[in-house]
Structure 1
Amino acid sequence: MNKYYLSLLFPGILTLNMQASAQNSKTKFIDQANMDLSVKPGDDFYTYASGTWIKNNPVPAKETRWGSFNVLRDFNINAVRSILEEAEKNTGAPAGSVEKRVGDFYTAGMDSMRIEKLGFTPIKADLTRIGKINSLTGILDEAAFMRTTGIGNPFFGAYVGQDRKNVTKNIPQLSQGGTTLPDRDYYLKNDARSLKVQEAYKNYIKTLFTLTGTPESEAQKHASTIFNFEKELASLQMSRVEMRDPHKTYNKFTVTDFNRVTPAINWSVLLPKMKISGQDTILVNVPKFFSGLNSLLSSTPVKDLKTYLEWNVLKNSAAYLSSPFVEANFAFTQILTGQKVQTPRWQRMSSLTDNNIGELLGQLYVKKYFKPQAKARMQELIENLRKAYEIRIKNIDWMSDPTKEKALAKLHAFNTKIGYPDKWKSYEGLQISRTSFFQNLRNADTWAYNEMVKQLGKPVDRSRWGMTPPTVNAYYSPVMNEIVFPAGILQFPFFDPNADDAVNYGGIGAVIGHEMSHGFDDSGSQYDKDGNLRNWWTEEDLTKFKAKTKALGEQFDSYTVLDTIHVNGKLTMGENIGDLGGLNAAYEAFKMTKQGQSNEKIDGFTPDQRFFLSWAQVWRGNILAETAAQFILTDPHSPGEYRTIGAPVNMDAWYKAFNVQEGDKLYKKPEDRIRIW
């Protein structure tokens, strides 16, 4: 699934996670031992709800952050390990079986002795081939070859995905790209943090080239060449905030017309070499990037472009070669994230197995761990949230009836996916060897690329998933108008069959509401019930909506993350609307339950207090300063501390539940509380 159309609940949790065993009915789902009751909830709800837990759970050395999501992953990755090791030992598994293919993939990745002996042999042929190039045509041909064979994605992004204005059709799409650092600002800013990353990046480039036998002085020159070239690419890129506008990034060209934009790149020739044939039309997200790339390719010496291609081979391979390459890769990661020690090999290989053949591994997972009752309960919760959302839309006082009618039509059209796909990917044709780790990765990338381009000319397959079943996350896709909840998230603190409704609605209920709200956030609201990018708002209603989102952006802009670094209210707008709308809808649905209509305390807390505390404990956590600084540039989610309070301070029910009064630090006057959905 195209990353630009995927709204996640949480960043970066695409690694393996397994469903925890159900907790017994005596579990304190809201435990005062994790809280700091010396703090007034109206002054600092985050610390009140989770202060002791935060104090007692620093970031482990192998992690960059530590919170509820990470605890789930860490607890369950060991269960995943047992599945993989069981498959690894099952040498009698039939050829072609799921167990055999999963076991072979993991075994090859764990064979560190063989990987050490090979050094950088797996990429020697690539470097030799690039070394023979002597023209710009040769450079572009090699870039196409690299893209189709899993070697790298130099210069720009290319993929096949739904046409946002005609979602029944798949279309080739080109996107800005070609850089290595997490965001363009790392190249363009000259503050102390950015300069430190730039120097570390140049050193990383030099180190990898040196490890392949390049003299140090020459490797140093390569580092400058590559950094300067990528800095030029970064200067052409649109910012992440600008990229949130789906109309700005929708630019349709005939291939012939786009050839005129980039005379140095003949797309009529290049696209077929990228296995994209018989297409006369393409979508381009940032045309000015490509016109700039055209000039850059024309003015850069071929020898420097060869160096850039060699770097693409090196950077995409380093983590999978012998230990000197892996260590250099991690040393650079440390500068970016602050992580203290390398993640254990078994954990990295588990994640790679999920990322590359996740629907094979997913079959073993759901067979052993996923309970049908969880799916049935989720279906019930989703329908309850849909009813609550319908009530809220009907009661909105700032929206006219014609727009409400369209909003309700979109809500009712939401498709839901729970647990795992109805139709599994077979990975037919993917060769997996027990003895060739690096080639397995290349084969998997090549298979995935071929599978993607095969979608051209076919009806859009609405059964496909953008996440694997064991993932602890959820997403909304505007072009599919679907909300998706992988099996991995259906566990505490989000969901537990033994928990009271307050805990489940404050957890998974708010997650469901969050994903529904993405259909009505600043970006998702521009797509209609069928997933097409088409306005369904009256002009007056849209103006009112934008005024409300502006106020929400200003609220989050005021939150400080590190020294002078603030949350970016515009970048995080969609997720903040998701949280605000989602928590309100979840509360509406909770109030329809028996517990929601009572005042009976459990473990010292009222039902409403438990609802909001359940929400708060989902977002508790610690994060390294380096990672926090990176996320402010790259992550469309606000930090957990501000997700905890960002929605509740706009909800009257939170004030009532915790007796928050004027004078408390988090207090907002009723007329200042932001109500959107």
Structure 2
Amino acid sequence: MSDTAPDALTSGIELDELDPATRPQDDLFRHVNGRWIERTEIPADRARYGSFYLLAEEAERAVRDIIIEAQDSEPGTEERKFGDLYSSFIDEETVEKLGSAPIAGLLEVAAAVDSIPSLLATLGNLERTGTSGFFQLYVDNDPGNPERYLVVVEQAGLGLPDESYYREESFAQIREAYRLHLARMLDLAGLDDLADRAQRVFDLETALAAAHWDNVRTRDSQATYNLATVDEFAALAGDAALIGTWLEGVDGPDGAFAEVVVREPSFVTGLGSLLVEDRLDAWRDWLSWQIVRGTAAYLSSEFVEANFDFYGKTLTGTPEMRARWKRGVSLVEGSMGEAVGRTYVDRHFPPSAKVAMDELVDYLVDAYRDSIAAIDWMGEDTRAKALEKLEKFTPKIGYPVRWRDYSSLETDASDLVGNVRRTAAFEFARELGKIGRPLDRDEWFMTPQTINAYYNPGFNEIVFPAAILQFPFFTADRDAAANYGAIGAVIGHEIGHGFDDQGSRFDGDGRLIDWWTADDRAAFETRTASLIKQYDALAPLQTPDHHVNGALTIGENIGDLGGLGIAWKAYLLSLHGEEPPVVDGLTGAERFFLSWAQAWQLKARDAEVIRLLAIDPHSPSEFRCNQIVRNVDAFYDAFTVTDSDALWLPPEDRVSIW
């Protein structure tokens, strides 16, 4: 598709982009997107590019305009706060002049660590202002008692994308590049004995990675729900004093850690075995590395460029860094996104879009209701509970009803690293401050200007930010088929997460509980196993030696399959028994599936494809499009697909779940 929506949308399909040399029966994805892929060069500052990123660029420009105006706002206002935050990033002259000075004090603190207890207390304290540790902490509602908040403790501590990068032969070159990167960054920070320090950090992270759960196991909502008192949590490390000392450094509110969810208990045990005095030098170097890595993007150009050389060029294949203003916008978005979002919504989200989305959601829920009622593999007890869960879904569209309060946050137009640390401290305190308070069901976990959507199992809610409600996903003035094939399928996808391999373990109140009969769960898992097998066999055209991980992507694949299938049923419901018109020479069914393919337009660099295959629970776009339609009977009818066509899948091999 072109970079902007056509002036006069009728079918909602960009007809000039359709490739007659590629039949939809053989490759729907390239029939719709092939011409665009062929002529499009991925921007030099991107690892991938397509429909989501075109919209993200529009939102980015809109947000920049808001931020620039905010720089002249009254001091003390939220607008001035994010204006000053942006100003501190854009002020390259000051940043260059400071060099590494903003982290000199932090590095001195790391160098002063003289024992494991000293390390733990220091790390806990630094985590309050954004330094990464060996745990990732966040607050969520308790899966066992969803009306209360708990701290969740998750494995962390690695500088590479995940544990597989430390062990798989295919990543050997990246490991070597990472060792060199460690030495380069520590050199810039003014440390000596670079090769030895880099090797110690790498060896320590390799040992940490060996204790990590892999990214398939970490998806398991039951295995990762381990409720523990603070004493039980501490005991997992072997020496309970280790965790106790770290918690003293974190210094959370009273009772914040009285009970926690430990997602990967064996990681805590593995970590405990590494927290020994013999490894003190390695831990001290690792702490220095965490400080440098966490601030490199906000220091002088030599840090920024070295950081990008590895995390951008090496890991994703991206040749050029994003423009400074874009990186400044990202900083504001990540730190004060809702403050910007309030103005974004006022300017860019018409009330009519929310009305249209409400109607689409209603039809999607109706279609799910009809489908669940008719499923032949599910017994009546489970069916009744599935329908009960569906009725309890909460849709959120556009923007939150109550905006986040940033009144206690201070920013300074001349202090970039200080701003980054203060915003991290603000968020850390805001999260831990939830403990003991009533659940805030009005909170959003994405900003309105985000091009995405999500399902939250603990809240049983589906959330659609304002910015995704644009072409190619949605426009109010095009034929309904294209909207149902794009945003309708996205809505269906998010609802479908409530019934995927993990979401289906939560009830309508967000409680992790087994509401299935054993026979129905077995029937469900038979179908999901078939879908896993399908995806395990797939490899992207551009990286044929690297396959999709069907077990890693199964949740998203279930969401895609249910989303598209139910969106089709919702479209039929919206017709109220009438025949859809032929528009631009296309039937309603053709428009529906062409719109689905149009939404997944994407081109990515080889290195990025390989990276995502290792860590991303989403399948590559070509398979989100093509492999899903192979399982949807309506696609065969729409394009008269036969057993001589490449996308043909024998009826007995097609998977239908919801």
> Residues 157, 574 of structure 1: CA spacing in aligned structure 2 closer, same or farther, 3 A cutoff?
same
Query: What does residue 107 of structure 1 align with?
Result: 87
Could you tell me which residue of structure 2 aligns to residue 5 of structure 1? none
Indicate the residue corresponding to 2:314 in structure 1.
335
- 1:50 Cα deviation after fit: 1.6
Q: 1:22 to 1:37 in 2, by over 3 A?
A: closer
Matched AA of 1:274: V
CA contact (8 A) 2:500 2:555 kept: yes
CA contact (8 A) 1:502 1:595 kept: no
Structure 1 residue 558: deviation in Å? 1.1
Q: Deviations over 1:276-323 (max 9, x none)?
A: 332432221111111111111125432221111000000111111000
1:297 and 2:265 aligned: no
Q: CA deviation at 1:62?
A: 1.1
Whether contact under 8 Å (1:417, 1:483) holds in the other structure is yes
2: CA distance between counterparts of 1:100 and 1:634? 38
Instruction: Report Cα offsets for 1:371-416 as digits up to 9, x if no partner.
Output: 1111111111111110011011111111111111100111110111
Is 2:562 aligned against 1:581? yes
- Are the aligned partners of 2:149 and 2:439 in contact in 1 as well (CA < 8 Å)? yes
Residue 443 of structure 2 is matched in structure 1 by 464
Question: Match for 1:45 among 17, 20, 28?
Answer: 28
Q: 1:558 to 1:438 in 2, by over 3 A?
A: same
Q: Which one of 42, 57, 62 corresponds to residue 74 of structure 1?
A: 57
Q: 1:261 to 1:75 in 2, by over 3 A?
A: closer
Opposite residue 264 of structure 1, the aligned amino acid is: D
AA in 1 matched with 2:213: M
Does the 8 A contact of 2:117 with 2:245 survive in 1?
no
Residues 1:271 and 2:251 aligned together: no
Are residues 1:148 and 2:125 paired? no
Alpha-carbon distance, 1:209 to partner: 1.1
Residue 260 in structure 1 maps to residue 235 in structure 2: yes
- For the pair 1:423 / 2:398, whether they are aligned, the reply is no
Pairs within 5 Å for 1:538-577: 538-561=517-540, 562-577=543-558
- Name the CA distance, whole Å, in 2 between partners of 1:269 and 1:299: 15
Q: Are 1:209 and 2:190 an aligned pair?
A: no
SS in 1 for 2:151: strand
Deviation string 1:453-474 (CA, Å, 9 cap, x unpaired) is 0111111111111101100000
CA 1:25–1:33 in structure 2 vs 1: closer, same or farther (change >3 Å)? closer
Q: Secondary structure at the match of 1:547?
A: helix
Are the equivalent residues in 1 in contact too, given 2:485–2:596 (CA < 8 A)? yes
Report the TM-score when normalising by structure 1: 0.94
C-alpha contact 2:100 2:189 (8 A) present in aligned 1: yes
How far the C-alpha of 1:538 sits from its partner, in A, is: 0.8
Comparing 31-40 with 541-550, which one deviates more in the overlay?
Answer: 31-40
Deviates more, 1:619-628 or 1:597-606: 597-606
- Counterpart amino acid of 1:304? A
Q: Unaligned 5+ residue runs, structure 1?
A: 1-19
Pick closer, same or farther for the CA change 1:559–1:118 going to 2, 3 Å. same
Contact 1:275–1:453 under 8 Å retained in 2: no
With 377-386 and 227-236 compared, the bigger mean Cα shift is at 377-386
Residue 178 of structure 1 aligns to a residue whose secondary structure is coil
Q: Distance in 2 between matches of 1:668 and 1:542?
A: 25
Matched, 1:504 2:483: yes
Partner of 1:402: 381
One-letter amino acid matched to 2:595:
S
For 1:198, which of 161, 166, 175 is the aligned residue? 175
Q: Deviations over 1:133-191 (max 9, x none)?
A: 211110000110111122x1222222222111111111222211111101111111123
Partner amino acid for 1:359? E
Q: Give the Cα–Cα distance (whole angstroms) in 1 for the partners of residues 504 and 11 of structure 2.
A: 39
Distance in 1 (CA, whole Å) between partners of 2:56 and 2:426 is: 28
Q: How does 1:354-373 map to 2 (within 5 A)?
A: 354-373=333-352
Structure-2 separation of matches of 1:414 and 1:124? 50
SS at match of 2:522: helix
Mapped to 1, the partners of 2:277 and 2:389 lie a distance apart of 49
Partner secondary structure for residue 139 of structure 2: strand
Please state whether the residue corresponding to 2:463 is helix, strand or coil.
strand
CA–CA separation in structure 2 for the residues paired with 1:272 and 1:460? 26
Aligned to 2:594: 613
Q: Are the counterparts in 1 of residues 125 and 251 from structure 2 also a CA contact under 8 Å?
A: no
1:18-33 equivalent positions in 2, closer than 5 A: 24-26=7-9, 29-33=12-16
2:222 to 242, 247, 265: 247
Q: Is the 8 A contact 2:581 2:587 kept in 1?
A: yes
Deviations 1:354-378 (A, max 9, x none): 1100011111111111111111111
Matched, 1:666 2:647: yes
Once the two structures are superposed, the pairs formed by residues 635-646 of structure 1 within 5 Å of their partners are 635-646=616-627
Q: 2:110 matched to which residue of 1? A: 130
Q: Is the 8 A contact 1:29 1:499 kept in 2?
A: yes
Q: What CA distance in whole angstroms lies between the structure 1 residues aligned with 2:545 and 2:523?
A: 32
In the other structure, the counterpart of 1:411 is 390
SS in structure 1 at match of 2:55: helix
Contact 1:164 1:533 in 2 (8 A): yes
Q: Which residue is 2:158 aligned to?
A: 179
Q: Which amino acid aligns with 1:68?
A: S
Question: Does the 8 Å contact 2:163/2:209 carry over to 1?
Answer: yes
Find the partner of 2:575 among 590, 594, 597.
594
Aligned to 1:167: 146
Residue 58 of structure 1: how far off its partner (Å)? 2.5
User: Which of 659-668 and 248-257 deviates more?
Assistant: 248-257
Stretch deviating more after TM superposition (165-174 or 496-505): 165-174
CA contact (8 A) 2:365 2:390 kept: yes
The CA distance in 2 between the partners of 1:144 and 1:597, in whole Å, is: 64
After TM superposition, list the pairs within 5 Å mapping 1:2-17 onto structure 2. Answer: none
26 and 137 in structure 1: CA distance in 2 versus 1, 3 angstrom threshold: closer
Aligned partners of 1:23 and 1:496 also within 8 Å = no
Structure 2 match to 1:118: 98
Judge conservation of contact 2:122–2:249 (CA < 8 Å) in 1. Answer: no
Instruction: Indicate the SS of the match to 1:173.
Output: strand
Which residue does 1:7 correspond to in 2? none
1:376 aligns with 2:359: no
CA contact (8 A) 1:171 1:281 kept: yes
Q: What is the aligned partner in structure 2 of residue 629 from structure 1?
A: 610
Pairwise CA distance, 1:23: 6.0
Change (3 A) 1:374 1:23: farther
SS in 2 for 1:365: helix
State the shift of 1:260 in Å: 2.7
1:550-606 deviations in Å (ceiling 9; x for gaps): 001111111112132111110000000000001111100101233984253212211
Residue aligned with 2:329, SS: helix
Shift of 1:79: 2.5
Residue in 2 that maps onto 1:10: none
- Count of matched residue positions in the alignment of Structure 1 and Structure 2: 650
Identity fraction in percent? 39
Q: Where does residue 12 of structure 1 map in the other structure?
A: none
